[in-house]
Structure 1
């Protein structure tokens, strides 16, 4: 077994089979300093970790017993052409390590983002209007022309429009899923995911067989906010809780956010949502020419 393979197996043994969540994994790394020390720890010592339960400590102390199962799991993923990236791999997005709870592993299909190129997130309401979709596509064309990569979800509405726009214009995009690869919802997003893989990638913090949960978007949003160098909102209303949550994530980590306003049709939002977005740090920008300023700000 080579060193990189051993690391993958240890992380899978801990996270997939022992049930260690991202925050606890980070605490374990800080406390023990290495995976070898974690997988060889005893339950008594593990109880010194904050919020550690006796049951989880027991599973972690037996994590070496999961190594063979982890090896088989990795082979199954490889056979399905699903990548598994750990926080110790060179391909792992550096920005994620700035989170308090970076995902120890995530699953991927397609080509990962180029770390040397700029990345923007474009998001908005799931109940998109024709005007919102048109504005989004116009913005997408500008970002693609400047070779800026996209990261966002494939939720219906503005996010899906941004992904489709990137695909149509041969731009490189990354979709962060709210569920496992085998359970993409809604079903009509499956074809979009397939298109994205052709010239980009899809990522998920969840195992391929993981079911959809209404709360998963909060975990996905923190990844989008972290990976992107800035976030652009094109349409948002009072029922756009997932978009507001993305803005909260950005606010927590100090990520730039912008709301693009068409000078002819005005802001595609209601007053309450605009006020909430501005309170969370979003900066209103009037006119498509402001996209050039946003691109310059991406660092």
Structure 2
């Protein structure tokens, strides 16, 4: 039953790797729910204290979430549903459930491109994001965006302008507009495409939600396009996740020395595709999607979409600003429970002030390169590590 999926997804304290490992072991959330302590402790790759959290049999939160979904017109897609995209199911850390509003495209049959970039973008970034997304949609691609202010919102507007399908992936509940001024954009995306979130209705935006959301964006697509990204940017996390997921990465070049383009220019230097127009990306996928993709031809000069006006704006309490994902997280203490052995080993080597290169981490820990890369990604998503230039890392937490 669906309530057991929601129960498992929302169990307090249970880490995502433990949820997935329990599901692999038992086969269904319902079997996990009714398992006794001894059975839970037999699950492979689940620390005992994590396994014991599944003894919490309180279904009240799940019942409330299901009622909210029905009231708000949202539905829930589980990782075992046929409609759940296989691309997303195959990533390192797929979401157990997705909350859905709108019509879900058959993502595995679409040339979907995740368009990402900084919130504090320049006018050049806004114009590039809207223009390239318009071209992508007009050429038959599905645009995936995070709907944050800046590049994300511009990408959604551009794709909608071309009459294309948009997938908006949020770091909050689908009924919580963030930022508040984007509420019309949320409604437009839900009408023309689909809104997705791994967070249930009512979930407020939290700092750690946004890099976690990015793995879904890159996982849904065949490629990721970075429009503007400073040296430390959540968009660069998305680019790295895309590469680890086997996706192609493209970037929009910017002026030399422009802070907002440092990350993009560096990606291009390191081998990312240069994207000056939408077809620079889609020509690489035309043979794979011959019935979907075609050059859009000449498009009209870029002009911003008109702003819709509401007859009577809805009252809402002033929304607190959520810090950018790329900001340095505050130092905190974390428990090793729920961390993998690789993550614990890396945190034991990483320093607070002196960044260490990935190659040195591999040599020091003896952990294979792919596992080091995956563990560092999850540590960064959880706010336990930070990346610096030259693929160097520091830790941002202390272990108990």
Change (3 A) 1:207 1:53: farther
Partners of 2:121 and 2:64 in 1: how far apart? 43
The answer on 1:85 being equivalent to 2:80 is no
Q: Distance in 2 between matches of 1:78 and 1:102?
A: 24
Check conservation: 1:237, 1:270, Cα contact below 8 A: yes
1:109 is matched with: 101
Question: Contact 2:137–2:162 (CA<8 Å) still a contact in 1?
Answer: yes
Give runs of aligned pairs for residues 1-299 of structure 1, distance below 5 A: 6=1, 8-17=2-11, 20-49=14-43, 50-54=45-49, 56-63=50-57, 66=59, 70-71=62-63, 73-115=65-107, 116-239=109-232, 241-261=233-253, 272-274=262-264, 276-278=266-268, 282-285=272-275, 290-296=280-286
Distance 1:78 1:272 in 2: 45
Q: 2:102 touches 2:193 (CA, 8 Å); kept in 1?
A: yes
**CA distance in 2 between partners of 1:279 and 1:207 (Å):** 40
| Greater fraction of residues in helix | 1
Paired residue total: 287
Q: Secondary structure at the match of 1:188?
A: helix
The whole-number CA distance in structure 2 between the counterparts of 1:280 and 1:226 is 21
1:291 deviates by 3.9
The 3-state SS of whatever aligns with 2:240 is helix
Whole-angstrom distance in 1 between the partners of 2:98 and 2:270: 28
Following TM superposition, the consecutive aligned residue runs of length 4 or more in structure 1 with deviations greater than 6 angstroms are: 265-271
Provide closer, same or farther for how the CA distance between residues 237 and 107 of structure 1 changes in structure 2, counting only shifts above 3 A: same
Deviation at 1:110, TM superposition (A): 0.9
**1 or 2 for the larger relative contact order (CA 8 Å, sep ≥6)?**
1
Shift of 1:250: 1.1
Which blocks of at least 5 consecutive residues in structure 2 are unaligned? Answer: 290-400
**Does the residue aligned with 1:182 lie in a helix, a strand or coil?**
coil
TM score, norm. by length of structure 1 = 0.84
CA distance in 2, matches of 1:89, 1:289: 33
CA 122–18 in structure 1, closer or farther in 2 if over 3 Å, else same: closer
Measured after TM superposition, the shift of residue 164 of structure 1 is: 0.9
Question: d(CA) in 1 for partners of 2:30 and 2:287?
Answer: 41
Tell me how far 1:113 sits from its aligned partner.
2.1
CA contact (8 A) 1:261 1:267 kept: no
Report the CA distance between 1:10 and its aligned residue: 1.8
Distance 1:42 1:18, change over 3 A: farther
Tell me how far 1:275 sits from its aligned partner: 5.7
Q: Are the structure 2 counterparts of residues 289 and 261 from structure 1 closer, same or farther at C-alpha, using a change threshold of 3 Å?
A: farther
Q: Does the C-alpha gap of structure 1 residues 79 and 182 become closer, same or farther in structure 2, counting only changes over 3 Å? A: closer
- Structure 1 residues without counterparts, runs of 5 or longer: 1-5
CA distance in 2, matches of 1:69, 1:125: 34
| Residues 168-224 of structure 1: CA deviation (Å, up to 9, x unaligned) | 222110110011123332211222111111101111111111122111111100000
- Measured in 1, the distance between the counterparts of 2:140 and 2:83 equals 20
1:49-103 deviation digits (Å, cap 9, x = unpaired): 434353x53442353x62x764564243112201111112122111111122211
Q: Quick check: 2:250–2:281 contact (8 Å CA) kept in 1?
A: no
Distance 1:238 1:57, change over 3 A: closer
Question: 230-239 or 189-198, which moves further after superposition?
Answer: 230-239
RMSD: 2.8
Residue 163 of structure 1, CA deviation: 0.3
The structure whose Rg is larger is: 2
d(CA) in 2 for partners of 1:284, 1:128: 19
Aligned in 2, Cα 1:267/1:187: closer, same or farther, shift over 3 Å? Answer: same
CA 1:86–1:43: 2 relative to 1, 3 Å: same
